[in-house]
Chain A
Amino acid sequence: MKHTQPLAFAIAATLICTSSYAAETDAWTIKATPQASYAGFSNAATRDSIVSAGLYADMQYLDRGGITVGASHTTLKMKLAAPTLQQNALFLSGRMNFTPDALPGKLTVRADVHRATNNDATNETNGVNVIAPQVAFMSFDKSYSLDLGYARSSYGNSNIGNGGLSVSQWTPTIGFGFNQGGDWLQVRVYDIHFSNALRAQNVTRTDALEVKWTHYLVAGGFSPEQIQVGALVGKRLYAVDGDSGTLYNLADMQRGSASLGAQWKLAENTRLIAQGGVERYENSLATRYSANYIYAGISQQW
Protein backbone atom coordinates (compact mmCIF):
# COMPACT_ATOMS: atom_id res chain seq x y z
CA MET A 1 0.00 0.00 0.00
CA LYS A 2 1.30 3.35 -0.90
CA HIS A 3 1.41 6.32 1.36
CA THR A 4 -0.92 9.08 0.42
CA GLN A 5 1.11 11.99 -0.82
CA PRO A 6 -0.07 15.54 -1.15
CA LEU A 7 -1.27 16.20 -4.66
CA ALA A 8 0.68 19.41 -4.95
CA PHE A 9 3.91 17.64 -4.23
CA ALA A 10 3.10 14.82 -6.62
CA ILE A 11 2.56 17.31 -9.45
CA ALA A 12 5.66 19.27 -8.55
CA ALA A 13 7.69 16.11 -8.36
CA THR A 14 6.53 15.06 -11.79
CA LEU A 15 7.22 18.40 -13.37
CA ILE A 16 10.43 19.33 -11.67
CA CYS A 17 12.19 16.44 -10.05
CA THR A 18 11.64 13.49 -12.37
CA SER A 19 13.00 11.40 -9.54
CA SER A 20 11.07 8.15 -9.30
CA TYR A 21 12.48 7.19 -5.92
CA ALA A 22 10.15 9.24 -3.79
CA ALA A 23 7.39 6.85 -4.81
CA GLU A 24 9.06 3.86 -3.20
CA THR A 25 7.93 4.54 0.31
CA ASP A 26 5.48 1.69 0.64
CA ALA A 27 5.12 0.61 4.24
CA TRP A 28 3.57 -2.71 3.33
CA THR A 29 5.05 -5.36 1.06
CA ILE A 30 2.64 -8.02 -0.08
CA LYS A 31 3.67 -11.34 -1.54
CA ALA A 32 1.37 -14.02 -2.91
CA THR A 33 2.52 -17.56 -3.56
CA PRO A 34 0.23 -20.02 -5.30
CA GLN A 35 1.72 -23.47 -5.06
CA ALA A 36 1.04 -27.11 -5.86
CA SER A 37 2.64 -30.45 -5.16
CA TYR A 38 2.23 -34.04 -6.23
CA ALA A 39 3.62 -37.18 -4.64
CA GLY A 40 3.41 -40.72 -5.93
CA PHE A 41 3.95 -43.60 -3.52
CA SER A 42 6.00 -46.64 -4.37
CA ASN A 43 5.73 -49.93 -2.47
CA ALA A 44 2.93 -48.49 -0.36
CA ALA A 45 0.23 -50.97 0.59
CA THR A 46 -2.60 -48.50 0.93
CA ARG A 47 -1.56 -45.13 -0.48
CA ASP A 48 -1.58 -44.22 -4.13
CA SER A 49 -0.87 -40.51 -4.52
CA ILE A 50 -1.26 -37.19 -2.81
CA VAL A 51 -2.03 -33.90 -4.52
CA SER A 52 -2.05 -30.57 -2.79
CA ALA A 53 -2.69 -27.01 -3.91
CA GLY A 54 -2.74 -23.83 -1.92
CA LEU A 55 -2.25 -20.12 -1.76
CA TYR A 56 -0.11 -18.25 0.73
CA ALA A 57 -0.12 -14.49 1.19
CA ASP A 58 2.47 -12.63 3.19
CA MET A 59 2.15 -9.04 4.36
CA GLN A 60 5.30 -7.41 5.69
CA TYR A 61 5.16 -4.05 7.45
CA LEU A 62 8.43 -2.21 6.95
CA ASP A 63 11.09 -4.19 8.84
CA ARG A 64 9.03 -4.55 11.96
CA GLY A 65 6.90 -7.59 11.38
CA GLY A 66 4.41 -9.33 9.23
CA ILE A 67 1.56 -11.74 8.84
CA THR A 68 1.25 -14.79 6.63
CA VAL A 69 -2.02 -16.48 5.85
CA GLY A 70 -2.40 -19.62 3.83
CA ALA A 71 -4.97 -22.15 2.78
CA SER A 72 -4.53 -25.48 1.05
CA HIS A 73 -6.52 -28.45 -0.09
CA THR A 74 -5.03 -31.93 -0.18
CA THR A 75 -6.34 -35.09 -1.77
CA LEU A 76 -4.87 -38.39 -0.62
CA LYS A 77 -5.88 -41.13 -3.03
CA MET A 78 -5.85 -44.59 -1.54
CA LYS A 79 -5.42 -47.96 -3.18
CA LEU A 80 -8.07 -50.68 -3.36
CA ALA A 81 -11.48 -49.55 -2.25
CA ALA A 82 -10.37 -47.26 0.53
CA PRO A 83 -12.04 -43.87 0.37
CA THR A 84 -10.08 -40.89 -0.83
CA LEU A 85 -9.14 -38.54 1.96
CA GLN A 86 -9.87 -34.85 1.42
CA GLN A 87 -8.28 -32.31 3.71
CA ASN A 88 -8.49 -28.55 4.10
CA ALA A 89 -5.81 -26.72 6.02
CA LEU A 90 -5.43 -23.16 7.20
CA PHE A 91 -2.26 -21.45 8.27
CA LEU A 92 -1.79 -18.16 10.10
CA SER A 93 1.56 -16.78 11.17
CA GLY A 94 2.58 -13.53 12.81
CA ARG A 95 6.07 -12.22 13.46
CA MET A 96 7.75 -9.26 15.07
CA ASN A 97 11.35 -8.17 14.62
CA PHE A 98 13.48 -6.61 17.32
CA THR A 99 16.96 -5.10 17.19
CA PRO A 100 18.15 -4.67 20.77
CA ASP A 101 21.53 -2.98 21.01
CA ALA A 102 22.79 -5.76 23.26
CA LEU A 103 22.60 -8.28 20.42
CA PRO A 104 24.68 -8.21 17.23
CA GLY A 105 21.72 -9.07 15.06
CA LYS A 106 18.00 -9.26 14.60
CA LEU A 107 15.64 -11.09 16.90
CA THR A 108 12.39 -12.42 15.51
CA VAL A 109 9.51 -13.66 17.60
CA ARG A 110 6.96 -15.60 15.64
CA ALA A 111 3.82 -17.60 16.31
CA ASP A 112 2.11 -19.95 13.86
CA VAL A 113 -1.32 -21.49 14.01
CA HIS A 114 -2.40 -24.48 11.90
CA ARG A 115 -5.85 -25.96 11.53
CA ALA A 116 -6.55 -29.07 9.47
CA THR A 117 -9.82 -30.89 8.95
CA ASN A 118 -10.52 -33.94 6.81
CA ASN A 119 -12.89 -36.85 6.27
CA ASP A 120 -10.76 -39.47 8.00
CA ALA A 121 -13.29 -42.05 9.27
CA THR A 122 -11.11 -42.86 12.27
CA ASN A 123 -10.91 -39.14 13.12
CA GLU A 124 -7.28 -39.73 14.08
CA THR A 125 -5.83 -37.27 11.55
CA ASN A 126 -8.81 -34.93 11.70
CA GLY A 127 -9.43 -31.84 13.79
CA VAL A 128 -5.80 -30.92 14.10
CA ASN A 129 -4.92 -27.68 15.86
CA VAL A 130 -1.36 -26.50 16.21
CA ILE A 131 0.18 -23.52 17.91
CA ALA A 132 3.86 -23.04 17.21
CA PRO A 133 5.86 -20.19 18.75
CA GLN A 134 9.43 -19.57 17.67
CA VAL A 135 12.23 -17.22 18.59
CA ALA A 136 15.01 -16.70 16.07
CA PHE A 137 18.21 -14.72 15.94
CA MET A 138 20.14 -13.77 12.80
CA SER A 139 23.49 -12.01 13.06
CA PHE A 140 23.83 -8.78 11.11
CA ASP A 141 26.70 -10.16 9.04
CA LYS A 142 24.58 -13.21 8.17
CA SER A 143 27.34 -15.49 9.39
CA TYR A 144 25.12 -17.47 11.77
CA SER A 145 21.61 -17.87 13.05
CA LEU A 146 20.01 -19.57 16.01
CA ASP A 147 16.41 -20.40 16.58
CA LEU A 148 14.25 -22.40 18.88
CA GLY A 149 10.81 -23.51 17.86
CA TYR A 150 8.08 -25.30 19.72
CA ALA A 151 4.87 -26.75 18.38
CA ARG A 152 1.96 -28.11 20.37
CA SER A 153 -0.43 -30.16 18.25
CA SER A 154 -3.73 -31.64 19.30
CA TYR A 155 -5.49 -34.29 17.23
CA GLY A 156 -9.09 -35.47 17.21
CA ASN A 157 -10.19 -38.28 19.49
CA SER A 158 -10.02 -41.67 17.84
CA ASN A 159 -13.28 -43.20 16.61
CA ILE A 160 -11.76 -46.66 16.86
CA GLY A 161 -10.86 -46.62 20.51
CA ASN A 162 -7.32 -45.38 20.39
CA GLY A 163 -7.97 -42.35 22.58
CA GLY A 164 -6.71 -38.81 22.13
CA LEU A 165 -3.35 -37.51 21.02
CA SER A 166 -1.31 -34.43 21.64
CA VAL A 167 2.15 -33.83 20.27
CA SER A 168 4.95 -31.60 21.55
CA GLN A 169 7.74 -30.72 19.16
CA TRP A 170 10.99 -28.90 19.85
CA THR A 171 13.12 -27.70 16.94
CA PRO A 172 16.45 -26.16 17.93
CA THR A 173 18.18 -24.89 14.79
CA ILE A 174 21.50 -23.43 13.86
CA GLY A 175 22.56 -21.89 10.57
CA PHE A 176 25.93 -20.87 9.17
CA GLY A 177 26.84 -18.62 6.29
CA PHE A 178 30.09 -19.20 4.47
CA ASN A 179 31.85 -18.60 1.16
CA GLN A 180 31.37 -14.84 1.61
CA GLY A 181 27.62 -15.22 1.89
CA GLY A 182 27.41 -17.50 -1.12
CA ASP A 183 26.31 -20.51 0.93
CA TRP A 184 24.08 -21.20 3.87
CA LEU A 185 23.91 -24.38 5.93
CA GLN A 186 21.02 -25.02 8.28
CA VAL A 187 20.85 -27.87 10.77
CA ARG A 188 17.61 -28.53 12.65
CA VAL A 189 16.75 -31.12 15.26
CA TYR A 190 13.19 -32.44 15.45
CA ASP A 191 12.51 -33.72 18.97
CA ILE A 192 8.88 -34.86 19.02
CA HIS A 193 6.98 -36.30 21.98
CA PHE A 194 3.61 -38.07 21.83
CA SER A 195 1.04 -38.31 24.59
CA ASN A 196 -0.36 -41.59 23.33
CA ALA A 197 1.88 -44.30 21.90
CA LEU A 198 -1.14 -46.15 20.51
CA ARG A 199 -1.58 -43.30 18.06
CA ALA A 200 2.14 -42.97 17.34
CA GLN A 201 3.25 -46.38 16.14
CA ASN A 202 3.93 -47.48 19.70
CA VAL A 203 6.54 -44.85 20.42
CA THR A 204 6.41 -41.85 22.70
CA ARG A 205 9.22 -39.95 21.08
CA THR A 206 11.01 -39.54 17.74
CA ASP A 207 14.15 -37.63 16.86
CA ALA A 208 15.40 -36.53 13.50
CA LEU A 209 18.09 -34.30 12.11
CA GLU A 210 17.45 -32.16 9.07
CA VAL A 211 20.22 -30.50 7.06
CA LYS A 212 19.67 -27.96 4.30
CA TRP A 213 22.39 -26.45 2.20
CA THR A 214 21.56 -23.42 0.08
CA HIS A 215 23.92 -22.11 -2.57
CA TYR A 216 23.32 -18.64 -3.96
CA LEU A 217 24.11 -17.89 -7.57
CA VAL A 218 24.13 -14.86 -9.80
CA ALA A 219 20.80 -15.11 -11.57
CA GLY A 220 20.76 -14.84 -15.34
CA GLY A 221 19.11 -16.61 -18.24
CA PHE A 222 18.05 -20.07 -17.08
CA SER A 223 20.42 -20.00 -14.14
CA PRO A 224 18.60 -20.10 -10.79
CA GLU A 225 19.44 -17.60 -8.10
CA GLN A 226 19.65 -20.34 -5.52
CA ILE A 227 19.71 -24.10 -5.28
CA GLN A 228 19.00 -26.09 -2.16
CA VAL A 229 19.86 -29.63 -1.17
CA GLY A 230 18.20 -31.12 1.87
CA ALA A 231 18.33 -34.37 3.80
CA LEU A 232 16.68 -35.76 6.89
CA VAL A 233 17.90 -38.68 8.97
CA GLY A 234 16.29 -40.34 11.96
CA LYS A 235 12.56 -40.73 12.60
CA ARG A 236 9.86 -38.10 12.45
CA LEU A 237 6.13 -38.39 13.03
CA TYR A 238 3.39 -35.75 13.17
CA ALA A 239 5.99 -33.08 12.44
CA VAL A 240 5.33 -29.40 11.91
CA ASP A 241 7.73 -27.77 9.43
CA GLY A 242 8.03 -24.10 10.29
CA ASP A 243 10.04 -23.20 7.17
CA SER A 244 7.38 -24.34 4.73
CA GLY A 245 4.37 -24.05 7.03
CA THR A 246 3.65 -27.72 6.48
CA LEU A 247 1.76 -29.99 8.83
CA TYR A 248 2.61 -33.70 8.49
CA ASN A 249 -0.64 -35.02 9.98
CA LEU A 250 -1.29 -37.45 7.15
CA ALA A 251 2.16 -38.97 7.11
CA ASP A 252 3.32 -42.25 8.53
CA MET A 253 6.60 -42.56 10.39
CA GLN A 254 9.15 -40.69 8.27
CA ARG A 255 12.51 -42.43 8.15
CA GLY A 256 14.58 -40.09 6.06
CA SER A 257 14.34 -37.87 3.05
CA ALA A 258 16.38 -36.18 0.36
CA SER A 259 15.42 -33.16 -1.71
CA LEU A 260 16.73 -30.86 -4.39
CA GLY A 261 15.21 -27.48 -5.10
CA ALA A 262 15.92 -24.28 -6.97
CA GLN A 263 14.59 -20.78 -7.22
CA TRP A 264 14.55 -18.76 -10.41
CA LYS A 265 14.11 -15.06 -10.75
CA LEU A 266 11.52 -14.46 -13.45
CA ALA A 267 11.32 -10.71 -12.87
CA GLU A 268 12.53 -8.34 -10.18
CA ASN A 269 9.60 -9.25 -7.92
CA THR A 270 8.66 -12.66 -9.29
CA ARG A 271 10.18 -15.98 -8.35
CA LEU A 272 9.63 -19.57 -9.45
CA ILE A 273 10.40 -22.20 -6.85
CA ALA A 274 10.62 -25.87 -7.76
CA GLN A 275 11.60 -28.81 -5.64
CA GLY A 276 11.66 -32.56 -5.94
CA GLY A 277 12.58 -35.29 -3.53
CA VAL A 278 12.09 -38.66 -1.97
CA GLU A 279 10.69 -39.31 1.49
CA ARG A 280 10.89 -42.74 3.07
CA TYR A 281 8.10 -43.90 5.38
CA GLU A 282 7.10 -46.84 7.51
CA ASN A 283 3.47 -47.53 8.37
CA SER A 284 1.99 -49.16 11.45
CA LEU A 285 2.35 -52.59 9.84
CA ALA A 286 6.10 -52.01 9.49
CA THR A 287 5.76 -51.76 5.72
CA ARG A 288 8.30 -49.41 4.26
CA TYR A 289 7.51 -47.28 1.25
CA SER A 290 8.59 -44.04 -0.30
CA ALA A 291 6.96 -40.90 -1.62
CA ASN A 292 8.46 -39.26 -4.67
CA TYR A 293 7.30 -35.68 -4.84
CA ILE A 294 7.51 -32.55 -6.90
CA TYR A 295 6.56 -29.08 -5.78
CA ALA A 296 6.21 -25.81 -7.67
CA GLY A 297 5.28 -22.34 -6.55
CA ILE A 298 5.38 -18.85 -7.99
CA SER A 299 5.76 -15.87 -5.73
CA GLN A 300 4.84 -12.37 -6.75
CA GLN A 301 5.67 -9.40 -4.60
CA TRP A 302 4.06 -5.99 -4.68
Chain B
Amino acid sequence: MKHFKIKAFAVALVFASTTAHAVGPVCFWQAGYKTPEGCGSAPAINNSSIWQTNYTLESTGQYALAVAGMDEVLRQTPTHQFALMRRAWLNYSQGRHNDALRDYNQILALNPKALDARLGLTLPLLAQQRWREAAVEANKVIAVSAWDYTAHIRLMICEEGEHKWETLTRHATELATRYPGDATVQVYLARSAAWQNDLPNARRAYLNVLQHLPEHIEANAYLKKNP
Protein backbone atom coordinates (compact mmCIF):
# COMPACT_ATOMS: atom_id res chain seq x y z
CA MET B 1 0.00 0.00 0.00
CA LYS B 2 1.22 3.46 -0.80
CA HIS B 3 2.08 5.74 1.98
CA PHE B 4 0.31 8.99 2.34
CA LYS B 5 2.72 11.74 1.44
CA ILE B 6 2.75 15.15 2.89
CA LYS B 7 2.57 17.69 0.14
CA ALA B 8 1.37 20.78 1.88
CA PHE B 9 4.78 22.31 2.31
CA ALA B 10 5.73 21.61 -1.28
CA VAL B 11 2.51 23.13 -2.51
CA ALA B 12 3.11 26.21 -0.40
CA LEU B 13 6.56 26.56 -1.83
CA VAL B 14 5.35 26.18 -5.39
CA PHE B 15 2.84 28.93 -4.81
CA ALA B 16 5.52 31.08 -3.30
CA SER B 17 7.87 30.43 -6.16
CA THR B 18 5.39 31.53 -8.78
CA THR B 19 5.04 34.99 -7.36
CA ALA B 20 8.09 36.57 -8.90
CA HIS B 21 11.44 35.93 -10.43
CA ALA B 22 14.74 37.42 -9.47
CA VAL B 23 15.57 40.65 -11.19
CA GLY B 24 18.57 42.92 -11.30
CA PRO B 25 22.20 41.92 -10.97
CA VAL B 26 22.79 38.30 -10.15
CA CYS B 27 25.32 37.52 -7.47
CA PHE B 28 27.88 34.74 -7.29
CA TRP B 29 26.28 33.23 -4.27
CA GLN B 30 22.96 32.93 -6.03
CA ALA B 31 23.29 29.40 -7.23
CA GLY B 32 22.51 28.76 -10.84
CA TYR B 33 23.55 32.15 -11.97
CA LYS B 34 26.78 33.53 -13.21
CA THR B 35 28.91 35.85 -11.64
CA PRO B 36 30.13 38.54 -9.66
CA GLU B 37 29.81 41.73 -11.53
CA GLY B 38 27.72 44.27 -9.80
CA CYS B 39 27.46 42.24 -6.69
CA GLY B 40 28.58 43.00 -3.23
CA SER B 41 30.99 40.66 -1.53
CA ALA B 42 28.31 39.22 0.69
CA PRO B 43 24.67 38.37 0.29
CA ALA B 44 22.18 40.66 1.84
CA ILE B 45 19.99 38.12 3.56
CA ASN B 46 17.10 40.48 3.76
CA ASN B 47 17.14 40.91 0.00
CA SER B 48 13.94 39.16 -1.08
CA SER B 49 15.45 38.23 -4.44
CA ILE B 50 17.64 35.65 -2.69
CA TRP B 51 14.59 33.80 -1.57
CA GLN B 52 12.68 34.31 -4.80
CA THR B 53 15.59 32.84 -6.72
CA ASN B 54 15.73 29.97 -4.32
CA TYR B 55 12.04 29.18 -4.74
CA THR B 56 12.39 29.40 -8.50
CA LEU B 57 15.30 26.95 -8.49
CA GLU B 58 13.28 24.59 -6.35
CA SER B 59 10.17 24.82 -8.48
CA THR B 60 12.23 23.93 -11.54
CA GLY B 61 13.80 20.96 -9.79
CA GLN B 62 17.27 22.50 -9.50
CA TYR B 63 17.68 21.40 -5.92
CA ALA B 64 21.46 21.24 -5.86
CA LEU B 65 21.70 24.85 -7.02
CA ALA B 66 19.07 25.92 -4.54
CA VAL B 67 21.04 24.22 -1.77
CA ALA B 68 24.18 26.05 -2.88
CA GLY B 69 22.28 29.34 -2.47
CA MET B 70 21.38 28.43 1.10
CA ASP B 71 24.96 27.30 1.74
CA GLU B 72 26.07 30.79 0.95
CA VAL B 73 23.53 32.36 3.27
CA LEU B 74 24.63 30.00 6.02
CA ARG B 75 28.27 30.79 5.46
CA GLN B 76 27.36 34.33 6.41
CA THR B 77 24.92 33.48 9.15
CA PRO B 78 25.40 29.90 10.33
CA THR B 79 22.51 30.14 12.75
CA HIS B 80 19.96 31.35 10.19
CA GLN B 81 17.13 28.98 11.06
CA PHE B 82 15.04 29.58 7.98
CA ALA B 83 18.01 29.03 5.68
CA LEU B 84 18.70 25.80 7.53
CA MET B 85 15.06 24.86 7.20
CA ARG B 86 15.13 25.61 3.48
CA ARG B 87 18.31 23.63 2.97
CA ALA B 88 16.92 20.73 4.96
CA TRP B 89 13.80 20.66 2.81
CA LEU B 90 15.81 21.00 -0.41
CA ASN B 91 18.13 18.19 0.66
CA TYR B 92 15.16 16.02 1.51
CA SER B 93 13.55 16.86 -1.84
CA GLN B 94 16.58 15.63 -3.76
CA GLY B 95 16.95 12.44 -1.73
CA ARG B 96 19.88 13.62 0.39
CA HIS B 97 18.15 12.39 3.49
CA ASN B 98 21.19 12.31 5.75
CA ASP B 99 22.01 15.92 4.90
CA ALA B 100 18.41 16.82 5.63
CA LEU B 101 18.65 15.09 9.01
CA ARG B 102 21.81 17.04 9.78
CA ASP B 103 20.11 20.34 8.94
CA TYR B 104 16.92 19.65 10.88
CA ASN B 105 18.98 18.52 13.87
CA GLN B 106 21.05 21.66 13.61
CA ILE B 107 17.91 23.78 13.84
CA LEU B 108 16.73 21.79 16.83
CA ALA B 109 20.10 22.28 18.50
CA LEU B 110 19.61 26.02 18.06
CA ASN B 111 15.95 25.97 18.96
CA PRO B 112 14.65 22.81 20.63
CA LYS B 113 11.13 24.23 20.60
CA ALA B 114 10.95 24.42 16.79
CA LEU B 115 7.95 22.26 15.98
CA ASP B 116 8.26 22.72 12.22
CA ALA B 117 11.87 21.50 12.34
CA ARG B 118 10.84 18.49 14.41
CA LEU B 119 8.04 17.69 11.97
CA GLY B 120 10.55 18.21 9.16
CA LEU B 121 12.89 15.75 10.83
CA THR B 122 10.26 13.05 10.51
CA LEU B 123 10.35 13.32 6.69
CA PRO B 124 13.86 11.94 6.05
CA LEU B 125 13.37 9.48 8.89
CA LEU B 126 10.21 8.16 7.23
CA ALA B 127 11.98 8.07 3.86
CA GLN B 128 14.67 5.89 5.47
CA GLN B 129 11.97 3.76 7.12
CA ARG B 130 13.30 4.61 10.55
CA TRP B 131 9.82 4.19 11.95
CA ARG B 132 10.71 4.28 15.64
CA GLU B 133 12.85 7.37 15.42
CA ALA B 134 10.20 9.16 13.36
CA ALA B 135 7.57 8.11 15.92
CA VAL B 136 9.67 9.53 18.73
CA GLU B 137 9.87 12.88 16.95
CA ALA B 138 6.16 12.92 16.07
CA ASN B 139 5.33 12.12 19.67
CA LYS B 140 7.48 15.03 20.86
CA VAL B 141 5.31 17.34 18.76
CA ILE B 142 2.14 15.70 20.04
CA ALA B 143 3.42 16.14 23.57
CA VAL B 144 3.19 19.93 23.23
CA SER B 145 0.45 20.14 20.61
CA ALA B 146 -1.85 17.25 21.36
CA TRP B 147 -3.84 17.07 18.14
CA ASP B 148 -1.35 18.36 15.62
CA TYR B 149 -2.67 16.82 12.40
CA THR B 150 0.67 16.43 10.63
CA ALA B 151 2.31 14.82 13.64
CA HIS B 152 -0.53 12.33 14.00
CA ILE B 153 -0.49 11.43 10.31
CA ARG B 154 3.25 10.80 10.44
CA LEU B 155 2.86 8.76 13.59
CA MET B 156 0.25 6.63 11.82
CA ILE B 157 2.71 6.09 8.97
CA CYS B 158 5.15 4.75 11.56
CA GLU B 159 2.51 2.48 13.07
CA GLU B 160 1.73 1.13 9.63
CA GLY B 161 5.42 0.66 8.86
CA GLU B 162 5.84 -1.36 12.05
CA HIS B 163 2.61 -3.31 11.40
CA LYS B 164 1.14 -2.22 14.71
CA TRP B 165 -2.39 -2.75 13.51
CA GLU B 166 -4.22 -2.62 16.85
CA THR B 167 -2.39 0.56 17.79
CA LEU B 168 -3.15 2.04 14.38
CA THR B 169 -6.84 1.18 14.75
CA ARG B 170 -7.06 2.89 18.13
CA HIS B 171 -5.10 5.87 16.88
CA ALA B 172 -7.05 6.31 13.65
CA THR B 173 -10.37 5.90 15.47
CA GLU B 174 -9.43 8.64 17.92
CA LEU B 175 -8.13 10.86 15.16
CA ALA B 176 -11.28 10.33 13.08
CA THR B 177 -13.25 11.80 15.97
CA ARG B 178 -11.05 14.88 15.90
CA TYR B 179 -10.91 15.16 12.11
CA PRO B 180 -14.23 13.73 10.86
CA GLY B 181 -13.85 15.45 7.51
CA ASP B 182 -10.50 13.92 6.70
CA ALA B 183 -10.18 11.08 4.20
CA THR B 184 -6.59 10.15 5.06
CA VAL B 185 -7.53 9.14 8.58
CA GLN B 186 -10.27 6.92 7.13
CA VAL B 187 -7.71 5.28 4.83
CA TYR B 188 -5.57 4.32 7.83
CA LEU B 189 -8.64 3.11 9.67
CA ALA B 190 -9.50 0.95 6.68
CA ARG B 191 -5.98 -0.41 6.29
CA SER B 192 -5.65 -1.37 9.92
CA ALA B 193 -9.02 -3.14 9.80
CA ALA B 194 -8.12 -4.90 6.57
CA TRP B 195 -4.84 -6.17 8.01
CA GLN B 196 -6.72 -7.56 10.99
CA ASN B 197 -9.21 -9.31 8.72
CA ASP B 198 -11.96 -7.06 10.05
CA LEU B 199 -13.96 -6.95 6.84
CA PRO B 200 -17.01 -4.95 8.06
CA ASN B 201 -14.93 -2.14 9.52
CA ALA B 202 -12.54 -2.10 6.58
CA ARG B 203 -15.47 -1.83 4.19
CA ARG B 204 -17.11 0.86 6.28
CA ALA B 205 -13.93 2.94 6.38
CA TYR B 206 -13.24 2.53 2.66
CA LEU B 207 -16.85 3.53 1.88
CA ASN B 208 -16.23 6.63 3.98
CA VAL B 209 -13.12 7.32 1.92
CA LEU B 210 -15.17 7.14 -1.27
CA GLN B 211 -17.57 9.74 0.11
CA HIS B 212 -14.59 12.11 0.23
CA LEU B 213 -12.76 10.87 -2.84
CA PRO B 214 -14.99 8.82 -5.17
CA GLU B 215 -12.05 7.89 -7.42
CA HIS B 216 -9.79 6.67 -4.61
CA ILE B 217 -7.91 3.78 -6.19
CA GLU B 218 -7.13 1.81 -3.04
CA ALA B 219 -10.68 2.07 -1.67
CA ASN B 220 -12.26 1.07 -4.96
CA ALA B 221 -9.89 -1.86 -5.36
CA TYR B 222 -10.61 -3.18 -1.88
CA LEU B 223 -14.37 -2.83 -2.22
CA LYS B 224 -14.29 -4.51 -5.61
CA LYS B 225 -12.36 -7.42 -4.13
CA ASN B 226 -14.51 -7.54 -1.00
CA PRO B 227 -18.04 -6.64 -2.15
Known: A218-B195, A220-B197. 6 other contacts (CB 8 A): A9-B143, A16-B146, A24-B167, A25-B135, A63-B133, A219-B197
Q: Do A24 and B139 touch (CB < 8 A)?
A: yes
Q: Is A5 on the interface with B (CB-CB < 8 A)?
A: yes
Partner of B136, one of A9, A62, A220: A62
Q: Is B116 on the interface with A (CB-CB < 8 A)?
A: no
Partner of A101, one of B95, B131, B132, B143: B95
Q: Is A161 on the interface with B (CB-CB < 8 A)?
A: no
User: In the complex, A20 Cα to B128 Cα: how many Å?
Assistant: 26
Q: Is A52 on the interface with B (CB-CB < 8 A)?
A: no
Residues of B within 8 A of A219 (CB): 196-197
Q: Do B166 and A268 touch (CB < 8 A)?
A: yes
Mind listing 22 A-B residue pairs with CB under 8 Å? A16-B146, A19-B142, A19-B174, A21-B142, A21-B152, A21-B155, A24-B139, A25-B139, A25-B140, A25-B143, A62-B130, A63-B131, A63-B132, A63-B133, A99-B128, A101-B97, A101-B99, A140-B128, A218-B197, A219-B196, A220-B197, A268-B167
Distance in Å from the Cβ of B137 to the closest Cβ of chain A? Answer: 9
Residues of B within 8 A of A101 (CB): 95-99
Distance in Å from the Cβ of B153 to the closest Cβ of chain A? Answer: 12
User: Which residues of chain B from 140 to 176 have a CB within 8 Å of any chain A CB?
Assistant: 140, 142-144, 146-147, 152, 155, 164-167, 170-171, 174
Q: Is B129 on the interface with A (CB-CB < 8 A)?
A: yes
Chain A residue with minimal CB distance to B148? Answer: A19
Residues of A within 8 A of B195 (CB): 218
User: Which residues of chain B from 84 to 135 have a CB within 8 Å of any chain A CB?
Assistant: 95-99, 128-133, 135
User: Which residues of chain B from 172 to 217 have a CB within 8 Å of any chain A CB?
Assistant: 174, 194-197
Distance in Å from the Cβ of B130 to the closest Cβ of chain A? Answer: 4
Map CB proximity to B onto A22-60 as digits: 1 under 8 Å, 0 otherwise.
111101010000000000000000000000000000000
Q: Do B196 and A13 touch (CB < 8 A)?
A: no
Q: Do A22 and B131 touch (CB < 8 A)?
A: no
Q: Do B132 and A218 touch (CB < 8 A)?
A: no
Residues of A within 8 A of B128 (CB): 99, 106, 140
User: In the complex, A37 Cα to B131 Cα: how many Å?
Assistant: 34
Residues of B within 8 A of A223 (CB): 197
**B contact residues vs A (CB 8 Å cutoff):** 95-99, 128-133, 135-136, 139-140, 142-144, 146-147, 152, 155, 164-167, 170-171, 174, 194-197
Partner of B142, one of A22, A106, A268: A22
Residues of B within 8 A of A23 (CB): 139
Chain B residue with minimal CB distance to A5? Answer: B143
Of the listed residues B95, B132, B147, B155, the one surrounded by the most CB atoms of chain A closer than 10 A to its CB is B132
Q: Do A13 and B132 touch (CB < 8 A)?
A: no
Q: Do B164 and A268 touch (CB < 8 A)?
A: yes
List the 5 closest A-B pairs by CB distance, nearest first.
A17-B146, A63-B130, A99-B128, A220-B197, A22-B143
User: In the complex, A233 Cα to B45 Cα: how many Å?
Assistant: 68
Residues of A within 8 A of B97 (CB): 99, 101
Partner of B132, one of A9, A62, A100: A62
Residues of A within 8 A of B152 (CB): 21
Chain A residue with minimal CB distance to B195? Answer: A218
User: In the complex, A25 Cα to B144 Cα: how many Å?
Assistant: 14
Residues of B within 8 A of A9 (CB): 143-144
Residues of B within 8 A of A24 (CB): 135, 139, 167
Distance in Å from the Cβ of A13 to the closest Cβ of chain B? Answer: 7
User: In the complex, A21 Cα to B159 Cα: how many Å?
Assistant: 11
Q: Do A21 and B132 touch (CB < 8 A)?
A: no
Q: Do B130 and A13 touch (CB < 8 A)?
A: no
User: In the complex, A268 Cα to B165 Cα: how many Å?
Assistant: 8
User: In the complex, A218 Cα to B222 Cα: how many Å?
Assistant: 15
User: In the complex, A106 Cα to B128 Cα: how many Å?
Assistant: 8
Chain A residue with minimal CB distance to B100? Answer: A101
User: In the complex, A161 Cα to B174 Cα: how many Å?
Assistant: 71
Chain A residue with minimal CB distance to B138? Answer: A21
Chain B residue with minimal CB distance to A28? Answer: B132
Map CB proximity to B onto A1-21 as digits: 1 under 8 Å, 0 otherwise.
000010001000100110111
Map CB proximity to B onto A257-276 as digits: 1 under 8 Å, 0 otherwise.
00000000000100000000
